[in-house]
Structure 1
Amino acid sequence: MYTLELAREADVQRCGEILAEGRAFQRAQGFVQWTEDYPNTGTVREDIQNRKGYVIRFDGAIAAYLCIDFDGEPAYREIQGAWQTEEPYAVVHRMAFADEFRGRGLTETAFRLIEALCRENGVQSLRVDTDPSNQRMQHILEKNGFSHRGTIFFQGGERMAYDKAL
C-alpha cells in the first residue's frame, strides 16, 4: 500500500538519489528540465524544514519524492492565459520516482494521494508547471484530469501551466 508522508531528515540522501534518477530519466527521454545544480539534497532539506517535502512510501521504501506547497507560487500570479481555479491552491514541484518504481502507474496513485491531502487541508485546487519539452509530464497531467491553462515564467524560463479543480 502506498502512503504519502512528510519527508524526514533521515530521508534526505535517498530523496536526493531519486532526484538524480529523475534527472537521468529526463535526459534519456531527450530533454533537460532539471540542471545538475537543481534540484538537489539542499533543496530537499529546505523542503523538509518548511514542511513541504513529501515522500511516497511502499512497504517502507521511498518510491517517490515531491514538494507540495500550500503557500502558492509567486510565479503563478502572472500567467499568459488564465487559471480555471481560484485560490487557495496547492502546487506540486519536483516530482520524481525511484527507478525501481517506474512503470507501475505510480503517477495516478501519487495524484490521488496528493488530492486527498489537499482536501484534508481544505484546498480544492491543484496547480503544476512543467517544461515545454517534458511531453511525458504533459501527458501524465492531462491523463490525470489537469487542463493546460497557459504559460508562466519560472526560474528564468517559460513553463506550461496546468491546474485541476478537486
Structure 2
Amino acid sequence: MKIRKSTCTDVKDIMVLVHQAQNYFKENNIDQWQDGYPNSETILDDIHKQHSYVLINDDKIVGTMYFAIEDDPCYAVIQGQWLTSQQRYAIIHRIVVDETMKGQNLANQLLDYVTSQCFHNNIKSIRIDTHMDNQSMQRFLTKHDFIACGTITLASGAPRIGFEKILNK
C-alpha cells in the first residue's frame, strides 16, 4: 500500500468512501455528515490546497484524509484546553477508509503517515475532532494516544470533541 496526494481524477473514488461513511453514520444514528458535507467541491478544494491524500491498495483508493500543518480557525477557541499552545500543529480531517476493508489497519497507515510527516517537519502535536456520537472514531483516537481536550465549534455551529496527541521522538 502507498499514500500519495490526491488528484482531481480521484474525486469520484474519494466520494465513494465518503458516501460509505455517510451511510454508516446514518445507520448508527450519528448526525455527522448528514447534511451533504463533505461534497465533491470540498474534496476538490482540499486537492487544490495540496492537503488531500489517498491510500492506495492494488491501484484502488481504500482510504483518504485531509492532512495539513496549519492552524485550524475552529480550534482557536475550545471549551477545555489543548495539550499544547503557542506552537505549530498538524491537523487531520475527513479521514475515511473503505468499509469493505475495515479491520485491516488502514486508518493506522494514514495516521502513521501523518506522524512521519510531523517528525520530518518538527511538528510536536496533531489535532483532530469528531462528533460526540462517533464512538468508533473516539476509540480509534484514544487507542492511538490522542487525548480529548474539550469541545470545539465548527464553522457550521456544530460542536465536536477536539483531540490532541503530543508526538514523542
The residue that corresponds to 1:113 in the other structure is 113
The residue that corresponds to 2:161 in the other structure is 160
TM-score of the two chains, using structure 1 as the length reference: 0.93
Give 3-state SS (helix, strand or coil) of 2:21's partner.
Answer: helix
Give 3-state SS (helix, strand or coil) of 2:150's partner.
Answer: strand
Shift of 1:132: 0.5
User: How do residues 31-70 of structure 1 correspond to structure 2 at under 5 angstroms?
Assistant: 31-70=30-69
Q: Is the CA contact 2:65–2:110 (under 8 Å) kept in the aligned structure 1?
A: no
Q: Is the CA contact 2:150–2:163 (under 8 Å) kept in the aligned structure 1?
A: yes
- Residue segments in structure 2 that go unaligned for 5+ positions in a row: none
Shift of 1:26: 1.4
Give 3-state SS (helix, strand or coil) of 2:26's partner.
Answer: helix
Structure 1: distance between partners of 2:28 and 2:111: 22
Is 1:15 aligned with 2:14? yes
The residue that corresponds to 1:142 in the other structure is 142
For this pair of structures, how many residues does the alignment match? 165
Is 1:94 aligned with 2:94? yes
Deviates more, 1:144-153 or 1:52-61: 52-61
Cα RMSD for the two superposed structures: 1.3
Structure 2: distance between partners of 1:94 and 1:66: 5
Deviates more, 1:16-25 or 1:107-116: 107-116
Residue by residue over 1:121-150, the C-alpha shift from the partner in whole angstroms, topping out at 9 and shown as x without a partner, is: 222210001111111111110001100111
Residue by residue over 1:10-52, the C-alpha shift from the partner in whole angstroms, topping out at 9 and shown as x without a partner, is: 1111011111111111122221210242001111100000011
Residue by residue over 1:57-77, the C-alpha shift from the partner in whole angstroms, topping out at 9 and shown as x without a partner, is: 123211111111222210111
Structure 2: distance between partners of 1:42 and 1:153: 22
Q: Is the CA contact 1:85–1:164 (under 8 Å) kept in the aligned structure 2?
A: no
Letter in 1 for 2:160: R
